[in-house]
Amino acid sequence: MCLDYHMETRRKNNGLISGFTLVEVIVSIFIFSLVIASCLVSVGKGYELVDASRQNSRASQVLQSELELLRTLPWDTFKDQTNAQLTSKFQSEIATQFGSGVFTGTVSKTATAADLALVTVTVRWTGFRGRAYTASYFTYFTDGGINDYFITP
């Protein structure tokens, strides 16, 4: 009795059981497609952010490592080296630690006084989807700086 009542309420005038129309099915498929597409875009952006964060952390490690290596040089050795010599050594350190082609770096030394130099270390890399990134650290080096505490002449 109960089943007959429900069947009767679902029947149309021509005696067929009603269902979804073609338009309703197409609209639901379109909405479902939009949801799936937005999820895929979100996943892609997530991968891009993770890659950028990872490479930024690695670049910070590269920069910090280079500054620490430069700090171990005695002042007389450091002040006599050109930017090209410092950059060449930096590039070989990058290739040794991270492989060639991932990061490129430069070291720029600017004398600000007779016994003081501003050093800028810059690293560049290409991230996910070809986006270019750059990070720089700078510090001052001086005669009688940190290297004299560890290296005695």
Q: What angle do CA 109, 57, 62 make, to 5 degrees?
A: 35
Question: 76-134: per-residue pLDDT in tens?
Answer: 888 888 889 888 888 888 888 777 778 888 899 988 888 888 899 999 988 877 888 99
For residue 120, list its beta bridge partners. Answer: 108, 138
Q: Give me the residue spans of the domains in the chain.
A: 20-150
- Stronger pLDDT, 35 or 9, i.e. the higher one: 35
For residue 151, name the pLDDT band (cuts at 50, 70, 90).
very low
Provide the whole-model pTM: 0.67
- Stronger pLDDT, 144 or 53, i.e. the higher one: 53
* pLDDT above 80 (res 50): yes
